[in-house]
Structure 1
Amino acid sequence: MNPVRRRRLLWVIALVVAAGLAAALVAMALQRNIAYLYTPSEVLRGEAGGHARFRLGGMVAGGSFQRTQGSLESRFKVMDGDAELPVVYTGILPDLFREKQAVVATGRMQGDTFVAEEILAKHDETYMPKEVADKMGMAHKKHDVPASTAQGTK
Structure 2
Amino acid sequence: MPPPSAAQISRLFAPLAIQGRQHETLALLADDVDWTICGHAPPMSRRYTSRQEFLDNTLKVLRERVLTEPLRLEVRNIVVSSTASGGGDEGKDEEIDGDVVVELEALDATCKNGLPYDMRYCWVCKFAHGKIVQVRAYLDTDLLTRALQQNP
TM-score range, shorter chain: under 0.3
Please tell me whether Structure 1 or Structure 2 has the larger radius of gyration of its CA atoms: 1
TM-score by length of 2: 0.25
Greater relative contact order (CA < 8 Å, ≥ 6 in sequence): 2
TM-score by length of 1: 0.25
* Structure that is richer in helix per residue: 1
